[in-house]
Structure 1
Amino acid sequence: MPLTIAEVIELPVIQAGNPEVLSAHRLGETIRWVHVSDMPDLSALVQGGELVLTTGAALRASPRRYLRGMAEAGVLGVVVEIGEVALPAGLGAVAAEFDLALVALRRQVRFVEVTEAVHRLIVADQFERVAFDRRVHETFTELSLKRPSAAGIVEAAAAILDEPVVLEDLTHRALAVALRGRPADLLRDWERRSRLHATTERWAVTAVGPRAEQWGRLIVPQPAHDPDRTRMVLERAAVALALHRMIERDRTGLHHQAQSGLIDDVLRGRVTDEREAAARAHALGLRSAARYTPVVVRVDRTASTSDPVVAQRRNVLLVDTVLHTVNACGHTGLCALRRDGEVGAVLALGVTRPDGEALAALGAALGTEIERVDHSAGAVLAVGPTGNGLIDAVTGLGEAAHIAEVALAMRGARRPFYRAADVRLHGLVSLLRDDPRVQTFAETELRALLAGDPAQLDLLREYLKLAGNKAAVAARLHLSRPALYKRLGAIRAALGVDLDDGESMTSLHVALMVLDARSRAGIDIPKT
C-alpha cells in the first residue's frame, strides 16, 4: 500500500520521538521519499512529494521563508526535531497557510533509522506493485491466448482483486458475475441499484469497449480496498473483454453467452445454490416467478449445411428469434443453444392467461417466426416439467429435449406445443430406434411390404392410426368400401396376419413407428 505522512508518524521509530502534529494538512497524502536536510533552500534537491526531516536550524531562523520554500519545492511536510528548544509560536498556522504538514519531535531520534524504515517500506511497496503488475499482465495475456469466455475474464479479475466483479451491458443487465463467496443478495435489484448507486456507494466502474463504441461496464459493487489497483485490473480486464468481443462478435451475442453460461453452470453442477442461480438469472433479465417452465425449440435440420460458419450463423439467428419471440409474447426467458437446430430455454410465463393458452400462442408465434427467418417449417416446441425453482427447471431441459426429438419425428399435423403425454409410445420408440434388435423386429414385421408398393405401407399406417375403423379409413382416403377391403386383403395376405387381431395391430403399429423414426433420422433399416 502507498505510505502516507500519517502512517509515517505512526511508525515506532517516529513514535519514540514523542511526535506532536502542529499542522494536519496533507497527512493523508502519499509520500514519494524521505529527505534529511537542514538547508534553508531545497529546491535543487527535491522533486516533489517528499517528507523532510530536519533539526530545525533554518526553520527557527526564518519560519515563513523556510516553509514557503518547502511548499514551492513540492515538499508535502516537515518533521522537525526540537528537543528542549521551543519553536516559534504560531508555526503550525504558518505551515497550514502553505498547505504543509508539520510535526514536532519532542525527543531525539536517529534520522538514519527513520529513513531506513520509511525507505524500506516504500521500496517494498514498489517491488510488490511491480510483482502485482506482472501478475496482472501475465494473467490477462495468457487468457487472451486461450480465448476464454467473458465469464472467465470476469472470474480472473475477481480472483486477482479478491473482490466481486460484475460485467453489465448498457441496459444494466448483469452479463457475467464472479461473487467470490459474497452472498447472492449482492445482485438483488441489480438494474436499479446499478443506475442509482454506482456513484453514491463508491463502486469502482470501468467502461468496456472503444470510446465511441462502449457496450458494457465492469463493476466492483463495493468500495475498493485499493482504488488504484482495482482500476488497473478492471482496465486490463476491459481490454481483454473488448478483444474477446471482437473475436466472438460473429459467433454469438454476449448476452446469449451469459444466459447459456448460467444454464451450463447449473447442468454441470457448478451452481447448486438456488439463490445464486436465481440472482444471476434475474440479473440477466428473467422475471422472478413462482414457477419456471423448461422448453426446447427444435428445428428440422435434415438438410443441414456442411459449412460450419453458415451453420453457426443460422444457430445464432435461431437463438435470437426464440428470445425475441418469447419477449414479444409477454414472457421472459434464458436461452441456450444446445446443439445444431436446438434451443433450450427456461421461461417465466406471463400471468395474463393460463399456461396452456400461453404456450399454445407461443408455439404458434415461434413456428411463424422460425419459418420466416430460418426458412424451415419443421419446428416444434416441447415443454418439460414445470419447476418451483430455477435449478429444477433447468434440469427439466433434458426431458424437454427428448420430447422435442420425438415430436419432430412424428407424422401428422403439428401441435402448437408438446408435452410428455403427447409423445408416449413414440418416445420409447425414439429412444430404442438405434437398437439392432428393435430394427430387426421392425424389418421382420414389415418385410413383405418394405419390398413392395409403398402405398400399402401408407394404407396400413392410416388403418392402424384409426384403430381399424374401416369406415373412417375409407372416408379419410376417399376410397369405396369394396376397394378398401380388397387392398386390406392384399396386405393381410402379404403379411400373413389377421389385421383385426389386437395384438397383431399393436405389433404392426410399433414396427411402423420404428420405421418412421429411423426414416426421419435419415437411417435405413438393414435388410435381413
Structure 2
Amino acid sequence: MTITVRDVLGLPELQRGDPVVLSDRRLDDVIRWVHVGDVPDLSGLLTGGELILTTGASLANWPQRYLQGLSSSGAVGVVVELGASVPTLPGAVTRLARDADLALIVLRRSVRFVDVTEAVHRRLVAEQYEAVAFDRLVHETFTELSMNRASVVEVVAAAARMLDEPVVLEDLSHQVLTSSIAPHADTAITLDDWERRSRRNTDGRAGTEPWVWSTVGPRGEAWGRVIVPRNPIQRDRTVRVLERAGVALALNRMIERDRTSLHQRAQSGLIDDVVDRRVTTESEIAARAHALGLARARRYWPVVIRVDSTTPDGDPLAAQRRSAQLLDAVSHTVRSGGHTGLFTVRPPGDIHAVVALRPARGQDPESTLTSLADHLHEAVARTAGDTRCTVAVGEPDGGLVPAIRALADAAHVAEVAGAMSGRRRPFYRASDTRLRGLVAVLKDDPRVQAFAESELRRILTEAPEHLELLRNHVQLNGNKAAVAQRMHISRPALYKRLRAVEDILEVDLSDPESLLSLSVATMIYDVGRAARADGERTIGPAAASPPPRSR
C-alpha cells in the first residue's frame, strides 16, 4: 500500500487543522517521508518524495526562493500552519507553488506536527514491514518447493495462490506447458488464442497487453517464460514472485533432466484431467489443448499405437526409456505429416494420441489415416527395431472431449488386433476385429480353453481329419453347397462326412446354437495354435526341445 499527498490530507490528525488546498498540483503523488522544517533552504536536507510541514516563516519572507528550493530537491508539496507569527501568506504564493509544480495546503488551525508525522510514518513503516514480510514468505515458499523437488504444476500453482492472479508457464514456442487460473478468472478466456497473443507480448511493443513475466532458465539457456497475462494491481510484487518462481522452475528442470519434455507432460496432464473428469468444461479443455499446439478441427481422431515389448521384465528404467523414445518418434511423425496432436504414454507402453488431421489436397481422411499409419510403422521400426506394431483408430465424434474419452476404446481395439494373426493392416478399427479379435484377447483364459476343449475333444482325438470339414462348415454358416465347392467334394460325400462328424460330436449341425458354439470353439483352437506357432518362430530352432533319443 502506498501513501499519497491526498491520503495525508485525509488523516484525522491533519483534518483537525481545517486544511485548505491552494495548489492542487501532485496531490496524487506518492510520498516517501514527511519532514518538518522552517529554514529558508531545505535543498541540502531532502532526497526527493518528501511532504514538508512548516509554520510558514521562510515561505512568507522568501516565497520564490523557498518553493524553488523544494521543487529542485524533489519534494512533492508543502503544508503550512498559519498562526500568530504568520497570519497570512503573500498573494503570489499560490501562483508560485503551481509554477514550481508543488502541492500547497494551508492549515487555518494549529495541529501537533508530531501527531501528523507519527501517523504518516507509522503507515510508511507498516508498509515497508509488510513488504519485508512478503519477501520472506516468497523466499521461504519457493525454497521449500525447490528442496522438496516440487513439480512444475505445484510451483506455478504456488505463484498463482500467492498473487491471486492467473499464472501461465510457456515454452519458447509460446506453447502453454501448465497454468494455474485463479478462481475469479476464466481458463477459456485466459488461454484463448494464446500463441498469437503471447508472441505480441515478448518485447513490450506499444499496443500490447500489459502482461508481467519473468524468463525461466539460466542466462543464455532460457527455455520459457512464467507469465501473469494481465495488468496486476501490485506490479512490483508480481515481478518479485515471478522471478522466484522462475528460479524454482529452472531448478526443477535441472533436477528432472529426463527424456520426457515438459510440453509432453503438459499434454499428458490434460488427457489425464479429461479421462479422470477433473475438468469437464469443453471450452476450458479446448483452450488448454489449443494452447498446447493442437490445431482447431471439425473432427479429432483417437489413435493408439501398441508396440510389442522388447525390454526385459523387471527393468523399469529400460521400459521408461523405450516409452519416451517411442513417444518422441510418434509425436515427431505426426507433426512431420503436417498434423497436430496431444500425446501420452499408457501402460504397458502404448502411445495414446488425439490427432487433428491435415489431409493433403484432394485426399480423404481414410487415405490420410493410411498414410499416417504407414509412417508410424516406419518410425516405430526405426526406434524399436523389428517389433510388431499395431495402430488402432477410434471413431471421431466431433468434439475434443469425446475423442479423448474414446482413447480407451481404441486401446481395446489395439489390444485385440495385436493378438490377431493373418495379414496385417496399416490400422484397425473396431469393425476390423469383431469376434475373432475378442477370442484372440481371451485365448489364454482357462475358462475359454476349457470351453474349446469340451466342444472339440472327441473330434481331435478320434477323427482329426474331419476338423477341416468342421471349420469350413461353421465358417460358411452351414451352407452345404458352399462347403462342397470350397473343399472340392461331391454333395453325397459331404453329407456322409457331416453325419460322421455329428455322430462323433453327438450334436446336430443344423441347430443354430450348436453351430455357433462349434464356430467359437474352432476359432479359439485356431487362434491358440497360431499363437503357439508364432512363439516357436520367435524362440527359434536353437531353443526348441531336442528330439527324443532312439533306444
Structure 1 pair 340–39 and aligned structure 2 pair: CA distance change class (3 A): farther
Figure out how many residues of one structure are paired with residues of the other and give that number.
501
Aligned residue for 1:55? Answer: 55
For residue 366 of structure 2, the aligned residue among 317, 332, 356 is 356
Listed as ranges, the matches of 1:403-422 within 5 Å are 403-422=413-432
Structure 1 pair 472–123 and aligned structure 2 pair: CA distance change class (3 A): farther
AA matched with 1:195? R
Q: Is the 8 A contact 2:415 2:441 kept in 1?
A: no
Moved more, 115-124 or 4-13: 4-13
- In structure 1, list runs of 5 or more residues that go unmatched: 475-479, 482-488, 523-528
Aligned residue for 1:115? Answer: 117
Structure 1 pair 2–133 and aligned structure 2 pair: CA distance change class (3 A): same
Structure 1 pair 297–85 and aligned structure 2 pair: CA distance change class (3 A): farther
Q: Is the 8 A contact 1:167 1:216 kept in 2?
A: yes
In the TM superposition, what is the alpha-carbon distance from 1:121 to its structure 2 partner?
2.0
Aligned residue for 2:200? Answer: 196
Which of structures 1 and 2 has the bigger CA Rg?
A: 2
- CA offsets per residue over residues 401-438 of structure 1, 9 Å max, x none? 11112222222232111111112224534664565423
Aligned residue for 2:545? Answer: none
Aligned residue for 2:494? Answer: none
Q: Is the 8 A contact 2:311 2:318 kept in 1?
A: no
Aligned counterparts of 2:535 and 2:143: Cα–Cα separation in 1: 45
Listed as ranges, the matches of 1:152-231 within 5 Å are 152-181=154-183, 182-183=185-186, 184-197=188-201, 199=204, 200-231=208-239
Aligned residue for 1:378? Answer: 388
What's the TM-score once normalised by structure 2's chain length?
A: 0.79
Aligned residue for 2:302? Answer: 294
Aligned residue for 2:142? Answer: 140
Matched, 1:369 2:390: no
Structure 1 pair 67–346 and aligned structure 2 pair: CA distance change class (3 A): same
Matched, 1:234 2:223: no
Off by >6 Å, runs of 4+ in structure 1:
445-451, 459-466, 468-474, 515-522
Structure 1 pair 99–20 and aligned structure 2 pair: CA distance change class (3 A): closer
Structure 1 pair 499–127 and aligned structure 2 pair: CA distance change class (3 A): farther
Moved more, 107-116 or 265-274: 107-116
Moved more, 157-166 or 117-126: 117-126
- CA offsets per residue over residues 232-254 of structure 1, 9 Å max, x none? 11111111111122122324111
Structure 1 pair 446–15 and aligned structure 2 pair: CA distance change class (3 A): farther
Q: Is the 8 A contact 1:53 1:80 kept in 2?
A: yes
Determine helix, strand or coil for the equivalent of 2:327: helix
Structure 1 pair 498–420 and aligned structure 2 pair: CA distance change class (3 A): farther
Aligned counterparts of 2:295 and 2:486: Cα–Cα separation in 1: 49
AA matched with 1:160? M
Structure 1 pair 340–436 and aligned structure 2 pair: CA distance change class (3 A): closer
Aligned residue for 2:549? Answer: none
Structure 1 pair 169–425 and aligned structure 2 pair: CA distance change class (3 A): same
Aligned residue for 2:23? Answer: 22
Q: Is the 8 A contact 2:49 2:75 kept in 1?
A: yes
Identity %: 51
Q: Is the 8 A contact 1:461 1:509 kept in 2?
A: no
Aligned counterparts of 2:535 and 2:22: Cα–Cα separation in 1: 86
- CA offsets per residue over residues 17-53 of structure 1, 9 Å max, x none? 324152624x544333323333445567655543332
Aligned counterparts of 1:517 and 1:148: Cα–Cα separation in 2: 46
Aligned counterparts of 1:167 and 1:129: Cα–Cα separation in 2: 25
Structure 1 pair 300–112 and aligned structure 2 pair: CA distance change class (3 A): same
Q: Is the 8 A contact 1:403 1:419 kept in 2?
A: yes
Aligned counterparts of 1:414 and 1:14: Cα–Cα separation in 2: 90
Structure 1 pair 257–71 and aligned structure 2 pair: CA distance change class (3 A): same
Moved more, 50-59 or 221-230: 50-59
Listed as ranges, the matches of 1:503-514 within 5 Å are 503-513=517-527
AA matched with 1:421? S
Q: Is the 8 A contact 2:214 2:227 kept in 1?
A: yes
AA matched with 2:520? T
Aligned residue for 1:425? Answer: 435
AA matched with 2:54? T
Aligned residue for 1:276? Answer: 284
For residue 272 of structure 2, the aligned residue among 264, 267, 271 is 264
- CA offsets per residue over residues 442-470 of structure 1, 9 Å max, x none? 5666889999xxxx99x979967994899
Aligned counterparts of 2:460 and 2:75: Cα–Cα separation in 1: 99
Q: Please, what is the CA RMSD of the aligned residues?
A: 3.9
In the TM superposition, what is the alpha-carbon distance from 1:99 to its structure 2 partner?
5.8
AA matched with 2:414? A
Structure 1 pair 432–389 and aligned structure 2 pair: CA distance change class (3 A): same
In the TM superposition, what is the alpha-carbon distance from 1:340 to its structure 2 partner?
4.4
- CA offsets per residue over residues 165-205 of structure 1, 9 Å max, x none? 22222222222222224221222222222222563221112
Structure 1 pair 64–447 and aligned structure 2 pair: CA distance change class (3 A): farther
Aligned residue for 1:316? Answer: 324
Aligned counterparts of 2:118 and 2:108: Cα–Cα separation in 1: 21
Aligned residue for 1:38? Answer: 38
Q: Is the 8 A contact 1:299 1:376 kept in 2?
A: no
AA matched with 1:404? A
Determine helix, strand or coil for the equivalent of 2:426: coil
Aligned counterparts of 1:471 and 1:347: Cα–Cα separation in 2: 48
Aligned residue for 2:8? Answer: 8
Aligned counterparts of 2:124 and 2:76: Cα–Cα separation in 1: 16
Determine helix, strand or coil for the equivalent of 2:21: strand
Structure 1 pair 509–51 and aligned structure 2 pair: CA distance change class (3 A): same
In the TM superposition, what is the alpha-carbon distance from 1:313 to its structure 2 partner?
2.7
Aligned counterparts of 1:436 and 1:63: Cα–Cα separation in 2: 107
- In structure 2, list runs of 5 or more residues that go unmatched: 477-481, 490-496, 510-514, 537-551
Determine helix, strand or coil for the equivalent of 1:127: helix
Q: Is the 8 A contact 2:168 2:178 kept in 1?
A: yes
In the TM superposition, what is the alpha-carbon distance from 1:361 to its structure 2 partner?
0.9
Aligned residue for 2:345? Answer: 337
Q: Is the 8 A contact 2:326 2:384 kept in 1?
A: yes
Aligned counterparts of 1:28 and 1:77: Cα–Cα separation in 2: 11
Aligned counterparts of 1:461 and 1:415: Cα–Cα separation in 2: 28
Q: Is the 8 A contact 1:76 1:101 kept in 2?
A: yes
Aligned residue for 1:87? Answer: 89
Determine helix, strand or coil for the equivalent of 1:424: helix
Structure 1 pair 432–142 and aligned structure 2 pair: CA distance change class (3 A): farther
- CA offsets per residue over residues 230-286 of structure 1, 9 Å max, x none? 111111111111112212232411111111111111112121100000011111111
Structure 1 pair 354–90 and aligned structure 2 pair: CA distance change class (3 A): farther
Aligned counterparts of 2:533 and 2:141: Cα–Cα separation in 1: 51
What's the TM-score once normalised by structure 1's chain length?
A: 0.82
AA matched with 1:210? P
Aligned residue for 1:150? Answer: 152
